[in-house]
Amino acid sequence: MQSPLIIAISGASGSGKSLFTENLFNAFSAQGSPVQILREDHYYRAQDHLPMEAREKNNYDHPNAFEHELLKAHLQSLREGHNIDYPHYCFKTHTRLPDTECLEPAPVIILEGIMLLARPELLPLYDVKIFIDTPLDICLMRRMMRDVKQRGRTLESVAKQYESTVKPMYHQFIEPSRFTADVVVTQGGKNQIALDVIKSHIQQALQ
């Protein structure tokens, strides 16, 4: 198999990375092209050794919260045509789940996550770098709804975490990483023109 094309999609939490990724995935699946999705969130470090109180206070918006060494090794394995043991993560317990999932390489690999463009050593592994640029107030509103509904959080905890780590770390790490992107996408996960442009670039690169 030809070496896979690796697309990295980054941006703030709540910017629309997951939706953009799903929409790109659906566009390829509809035409029968195999695509593999990897989420940086799955590479948050395991914290089984810490009590829940300490886990709740951790800074999850610093690059060191992720096991990027493992992500890098997995991308290299997929490039070489090998399967990987993809970790699973639980946002309610703030640690890895015991099970992993065997993922196979595919011609297109879409990777999404907040710190993907903030680690210089990861950048050479990507073929296309995309930044989803959404105003922070919109990101916060979306995150509040999602974290309460899906991640077992209270409104108070989301607001506190936002002020203490999410917002300052965004300005320190994520916002500057925008300048490493090949494409900056406005209007979040539903920007159809951006989806079409990126899809056609991928199709050409695969020929």
Ligand X SMILES: Nc1ncnc2c1ncn2[C@@H]1O[C@H](COP(=O)(O)OP(=O)(O)O)[C@@H](O)[C@H]1O
Q: What is the dihedral of CA 45, 50, 54, 59, to 10 degrees?
A: -10
Interaction of residue 14 with ligand X, rule CB under 6 A: yes
Closest approach of ligand X to the CB of residue 148, in Å? 12
Per-residue x/- track, 167-206, ligand X (CB under 6 A): --------------------xxxx----------------
In 3D space, the residue among 135, 129, 109 whose CA is nearest the CA of residue 180 turns out to be: 129
Tell me whether residue 13 or residue 36 sits nearer to ligand X (CB atom). 13
Q: Which stretch binds ligand X (CB under 6 A): 11-19, 75-83, 121-129, 173-181?
A: 11-19
Which pair of structure tokens corresponds to residue 156?
């108070």
Closest approach of ligand L45E5XJ5 to the CB of residue 116, in Å? 10
Residues that bind ligand L45E5XJ5 (CB under 6 A): 13-14, 17, 41, 44, 60-61, 91, 94, 114, 166
**Which one of residues 4, 6, 8, 13 is an interface residue with ligand X (CB under 6 A)?**
13
Asked if residues 184 and 178 have their Cβ atoms less than 8 Å apart, the reply is yes
- Residue least distant from ligand L45E5XJ5 (Cβ): 13
Residue list 43-72, contact with ligand X (CB under 6 A) = none
Q: Are strands 183-185 and 128-132 parallel, antiparallel or unpaired?
A: parallel
- Of ligand X, ligand L45E5XJ5, none, which one sits near residue 66, judging by CB under 5 to 8 A according to partner kind? none
In 3D space, the residue among 183, 182, 71 whose CA is nearest the CA of residue 125 turns out to be: 71
Q: How far apart are CA 33 and CA 42, in angstroms?
A: 24
Closest approach of ligand X to the CB of residue 25, in Å? 12
Q: Which amino acid is at 4?
A: P
Q: How many CA atoms lie within 13 A of 167 on its CB side?
A: 12
Which pair of structure tokens corresponds to residue 183?
């494409």
For residue 201, the surrounding DSSP H or E stretch is: helix 192-206
Per-residue x/- track, 130-149, ligand X (CB under 6 A): ------------x---x---
